[in-house]
Amino acid sequence: MTATASSSPHPLTDLPVATPLSARFAALQAEREANWPPAQLSANAHQRKLLLDAHDAQNHPLPGAPIAPFTLIGADGAAITQNDLAPNGPAVLLFYRFGTCPACNIALPYYQEALWPSLKAAGIPLLAISAQTPVDTGIALRGNLTFPLASDPDYALAQRLGITFFPEAQPPVEPGQDWIGATLGTNSYEMVQPAAVILNADGTLRHLIVSPDWLDRPEAEDILAHLPEVA
């Protein structure tokens, strides 16, 4: 990620509903290979490889670890606490990068189709979270999302989970310049890696799947495999 935040949403709405997330990302990559100049493709691949190479699973809490109480901010500005999410059972949290991230505009609609119906039927909350403040609701409108979005102020929960990072390039930013800190509303180069989190009602971590490569995120069944509450 450079100083600018020039990403634009790309929902790939022409793919069949049953298309796996990996195939949706493959379609996005194929489109980029057909339309992007070689230098842009190379830079994108380099950024993703750097994050993969730098990823260390030891930075993340293990299953069973307690997660300190946290407060998120919903799209309506209301506070959402850990107790609000999982008072009687598990909750699923999906961390995404930001509202106009093309891969996120593919991933969240996929989870709307392939994950949310099963969770909703089982009474398990689903919440999509980014550091972006305030929440960019455009991603919900584009993806017809019916599960809520929230912001993680000051990266508090993401940092506890060990899923934030700083990009390799952090050039100085001029006043009024378009850059990732302006997009996020955080005035920082710090970003959140996509992740799927399952929290237990007692505030402990049940499962965490981190995606340092933002084009490699868990399929719905990978998350549901850790939720026996889903019939």
Q: Which domains does the chain have, with CATH numbers?
A: 21-224 (3.40.30.10)
- What is the b/e burial string over 177-194, where b = at least 16 CB atoms within 10 angstroms of the residue's CB? eebbbebbebeebbbbbb
Residues 191-200 have pLDDT tens digits of 999 999 999 9
Residues 74-120 have pLDDT tens digits of 999 999 999 999 888 899 999 999 999 999 999 999 999 999 999 99
The H or E element containing residue 104 is: helix 104-114
Q: Would you call 24 helix, strand, or coil by DSSP? A: helix
Taking 80 as the threshold, does the pLDDT of residue 13 lie above it?
A: no
Give the residue, 130 or 168, on which the prediction is more confident: 130
Average pLDDT score, the chain: 92
Cβ atoms within 10 Å of 103's Cβ, excluding its own: 23
Q: Would you call 195 helix, strand, or coil by DSSP? A: strand
pTM value is: 0.92
Q: Rounded to an integer, what distance in angstroms lies between the CA atom of residue 209 and that of residue 194?
A: 9
